Chains A and B, each alone.
Chain A
């Protein structure tokens, strides 16, 4: 990712947000997808992002996680005061960002456990902690699997390979539970889950909630938000946050759909204007 911006490495204090996104613009293959996103997430908060298909929710999540081939064309992102966009994806994870993928990737030949232990130890090493040995790791994993009601058989299977949709989503949350990120971004982790699985996933997410962690949950449905109650709900449309509100907003969206937010978009930040900023 081309990135020439350099910033003083700052440290977070109690008043500065954990994540600060300022006028973030990004394009894929020269097509602008994110067109000026502003968002502040403080430690301890849960933010929900909703919005129609193709509005840029996943793109936003991946730009935060550091996927290649997204061209950040403007704006900046600070994570605990540090320039997130200048970091490699692995360093973002080590700093405490975790993205639960909307479509988790299958990796045949790499066992779930080997993978997760390599990840955990890479993160621990980065933070100056001792690496976990196999015994301690298995104990940790055993606990988390139990908490999430996961089939122990999934442990030794290759990462996501041949997993059902639900198993994949659960595996994302399981990884999150083991890696204990400071900021978890859940991209439609609730989609395709039955109500029982949804409860389990929500429980896993809630068990991570603490005053020094935050969650961004991308979802189309209010039902997840019954279990993971958000502090803020944002509507993303056409690459911009066109409306933000409290948890009631999610209910309103569920009732009325996104159509009415079009007005908000028009009266809010017109797309034309976003285009002007880029030039």
Chain B
């Protein structure tokens, strides 16, 4: 065979290295957790398309690349400056920045947080109060999910946020993960692979614990810096305490060579409200799994998403809403715009347990195809064991309405601009739902530019009238 299949052994050796470098610095429970998890990973291996949940997303290219963990935040790779990040650190929020999985103090800023809000790096949390263990690695399925296990074994740093009972956090907390794979900034005209570093992997990790009666907003974002190959394998766990309100955004804009796999798992207690909006714009292959367990009566959950993919991008969203208690409600609304030969997958799972009477669950997935070569696989998966519930779902795959296009053109608007306008309008429903205004405005701008770009580069393939 011409090329070496790297497979799981690479990560096992990564693990041995990490184990050596950490020595006995980590507490025993954590060392045990890592050891267990690397075992789980080597047993399960990378998911394959033979597994139902991975039928349409092939990780073979990921497992074939010899990714290396970065030893520290800056070594061997170009390092972004504050200036580089300015445009993405919107809101003037408190932000923690991680580069290739390592905390960057120089780029981070924790400021003006009310008392009762604790924002730490995981490594600092391990040294500090010692309350990390209570919730860490208890929600995402590290025993059954290979990638969660891999992250749990190999994470180098991440964020731990704890909001104490009754605290209202006015400003969002932004957790920013940069994959830096070389000195050439993304979008720079010189795309010389010679200048890129070796393929780099990181395993970002987040734990958010919002105690009862709290209110908080989080942005979790993933950016690419440099044009090289990178792989982020992220895990986020969120505990929404009784009557807490959490607004969460995940924004992924990694470069077109990168692989992005992420799992977000929330546990919701009684009357809590958890909303997340997952925006996927970048990466060669991206999959985001969002799961929420509504484990208290009257919990409310909103999972929204917007994905844009072009060229050969592959974007996969997998949601699981698990209604375990009565009177819960959940709303899922994912929209995607696909151009070029892009591939999108949406798998929306709703579980209503026997106990979860009076559940109200709704799921929608709508896709707009801008090219004939783009492909969407969308599948609802309902598992309902209670009898008094309302559960609706629907998926659509459509094209730009030719009548609307003609109408716009008949008013003087050029074909590509009209297509951009209509695609943008399609995304509007999700954007309008974003409560955090600076994020919305920023996304509106970049979405419009991105669509205009895609459409002008692909517009020529279609028959001009």
With the chains together, A207 CA to B465 CA distance in Å?
Answer: 34
Taken residue by residue from 395 to 415, chain B's Cβ proximity to chain A (1 for < 8 Å, 0 otherwise) reads as 000000111101111111111
Q: Are A110 and B425 neighbours in the complex by a CB distance under 8 Å?
A: yes
Q: Are A109 and B426 neighbours in the complex by a CB distance under 8 Å?
A: yes
Closest 5 CB pairs of A and B: A109-B425, A93-B412, A119-B411, A105-B407, A89-B409
Q: Are B422 and A89 neighbours in the complex by a CB distance under 8 Å?
A: no
Q: Given the complex, which residues of B lie within 8 Å of A108, measured CB to CB?
A: 425
Taken residue by residue from 143 to 180, chain A's Cβ proximity to chain B (1 for < 8 Å, 0 otherwise) reads as 00000000000000011000000000000000100010
Q: Are A123 and B412 neighbours in the complex by a CB distance under 8 Å?
A: yes
4 extra interchain contacts, Cβ-Cβ under 8 A, other than A68-B465, A122-B414? A66-B465, A88-B409, A90-B409, A118-B421
Known: A89-B465, A110-B421. A122 touches B407 (CB 8 A): no
Q: Given the complex, which residues of A lie within 8 Å of B401, measured CB to CB?
A: 105
Flag whether B289 is at the interface (Cβ < 8 A): no
Flag whether A52 is at the interface (Cβ < 8 A): no
Taken residue by residue from 403 to 447, chain B's Cβ proximity to chain A (1 for < 8 Å, 0 otherwise) reads as 110111111111101100110111011000000000000000000
Our pick among B403, B404, B415, B428 for the contact of A90 (Cβ within 8 Å) is B415
Which residues in window 46-95 of A have CB below 8 A to B? 65-68, 88-90, 92-94
Q: Are B428 and A109 neighbours in the complex by a CB distance under 8 Å?
A: yes
With the chains together, A67 CA to B405 CA distance in Å?
Answer: 10
Known: A109-B425, A109-B429. A119 touches B412 (CB 8 A): yes
Which residues in window 107-158 of A have CB below 8 A to B? 107-110, 114-116, 118-120, 122-123, 126, 158
Q: Given the complex, which residues of B lie within 8 Å of A92, measured CB to CB?
A: 410
Shortest Cβ distance from residue B366 to the other chain A in the assembled complex, whole angstroms = 12
Flag whether A264 is at the interface (Cβ < 8 A): no
Main SS class of interface, B = helix
Q: Given the complex, which residues of B lie within 8 Å of A90, measured CB to CB?
A: 409-410, 412-415, 418
Shortest Cβ distance from residue A255 to the other chain B in the assembled complex, whole angstroms = 35
Nearest B residue to A2 via CB reads B465
Shortest Cβ distance from residue A122 to the other chain B in the assembled complex, whole angstroms = 4
Nearest B residue to A89 via CB reads B409
Nearest B residue to A176 via CB reads B411
Flag whether A28 is at the interface (Cβ < 8 A): no
Q: Give the number of A-B contacts (CB < 8 Å).
A: 84
Q: Are B411 and A115 neighbours in the complex by a CB distance under 8 Å?
A: yes
Shortest Cβ distance from residue B186 to the other chain A in the assembled complex, whole angstroms = 29
**What are 8 A-B contacts with C-beta separation under 8 Å?**
A88-B415, A89-B410, A90-B409, A90-B413, A90-B415, A92-B410, A93-B409, A115-B408
Q: Given the complex, which residues of A lie within 8 Å of B410, measured CB to CB?
A: 65-67, 89-90, 92-93, 98-99, 101
Q: Given the complex, which residues of A lie within 8 Å of B407, measured CB to CB?
A: 101, 104-105, 107, 159
Query: Footprint of A on B, CB under 8 Å?
Result: 401-404, 406-415, 417-418, 421-422, 424-426, 428-429, 464-465
Most A CB within 10 A of own CB, among B409, B411, B414, B426: B411
With the chains together, A101 CA to B410 CA distance in Å?
Answer: 10
Q: Are A118 and B465 neighbours in the complex by a CB distance under 8 Å?
A: no
Our pick among A89, A105, A120 for the contact of B403 (Cβ within 8 Å) is A105
Shortest Cβ distance from residue A51 to the other chain B in the assembled complex, whole angstroms = 22
Nearest A residue to B414 via CB reads A90
Flag whether A1 is at the interface (Cβ < 8 A): yes
Q: Given the complex, which residues of B lie within 8 Å of A126, measured CB to CB?
A: 412
Our pick among B402, B403, B411 for the contact of A93 (Cβ within 8 Å) is B411
Q: Given the complex, which residues of A lie within 8 Å of B414, measured CB to CB?
A: 90, 122
Q: Given the complex, which residues of B lie within 8 Å of A89, measured CB to CB?
A: 406, 409-410, 465
Q: Given the complex, which residues of B lie within 8 Å of A65, measured CB to CB?
A: 410
Q: Are A119 and B465 neighbours in the complex by a CB distance under 8 Å?
A: no
Most B CB within 10 A of own CB, among A88, A119, A126, A158: A119
Shortest Cβ distance from residue A176 to the other chain B in the assembled complex, whole angstroms = 10
Q: Are B429 and A1 neighbours in the complex by a CB distance under 8 Å?
A: no
Nearest B residue to A69 via CB reads B402
Q: Given the complex, which residues of A lie within 8 Å of B403, measured CB to CB?
A: 105
Shortest Cβ distance from residue B101 to the other chain A in the assembled complex, whole angstroms = 39
Q: Are B412 and A107 neighbours in the complex by a CB distance under 8 Å?
A: no
Shortest Cβ distance from residue A177 to the other chain B in the assembled complex, whole angstroms = 13
Q: Given the complex, which residues of B lie within 8 Å of A98, measured CB to CB?
A: 410-411
Nearest A residue to B407 via CB reads A105
Nearest A residue to B402 via CB reads A68
With the chains together, A158 CA to B162 CA distance in Å?
Answer: 42
With the chains together, A116 CA to B414 CA distance in Å?
Answer: 13
Q: Given the complex, which residues of A lie within 8 Å of B412, measured CB to CB?
A: 90, 93-94, 119-120, 122-123, 126, 179
With the chains together, A101 CA to B401 CA distance in Å?
Answer: 16
With the chains together, A65 CA to B412 CA distance in Å?
Answer: 11
Q: Given the complex, which residues of A lie within 8 Å of B404, measured CB to CB?
A: 105-107
Nearest A residue to B418 via CB reads A90
With the chains together, A19 CA to B428 CA distance in Å?
Answer: 40
Shortest Cβ distance from residue A90 to the other chain B in the assembled complex, whole angstroms = 4
With the chains together, A109 CA to B409 CA distance in Å?
Answer: 17
Q: Given the complex, which residues of B lie within 8 Å of A119, measured CB to CB?
A: 408, 411-413
Q: Are B406 and A68 neighbours in the complex by a CB distance under 8 Å?
A: yes
Q: Given the complex, which residues of A lie within 8 Å of B411, measured CB to CB?
A: 93, 98, 115-116, 119, 175, 179
With the chains together, A88 CA to B415 CA distance in Å?
Answer: 9
Shortest Cβ distance from residue A165 to the other chain B in the assembled complex, whole angstroms = 16
With the chains together, A104 CA to B408 CA distance in Å?
Answer: 11
Shortest Cβ distance from residue A124 to the other chain B in the assembled complex, whole angstroms = 9
Q: Are B465 and A1 neighbours in the complex by a CB distance under 8 Å?
A: yes
Nearest B residue to A175 via CB reads B411
With the chains together, A47 CA to B74 CA distance in Å?
Answer: 74
Nearest B residue to A101 via CB reads B407
Nearest B residue to A121 via CB reads B412
Q: Given the complex, which residues of A lie within 8 Å of B402, measured CB to CB?
A: 68
Our pick among A1, A106, A118, A158 for the contact of B413 (Cβ within 8 Å) is A118
With the chains together, A122 CA to B411 CA distance in Å?
Answer: 9
Nearest A residue to B423 via CB reads A109
With the chains together, A101 CA to B413 CA distance in Å?
Answer: 16
Q: Given the complex, which residues of B lie within 8 Å of A104, measured CB to CB?
A: 407
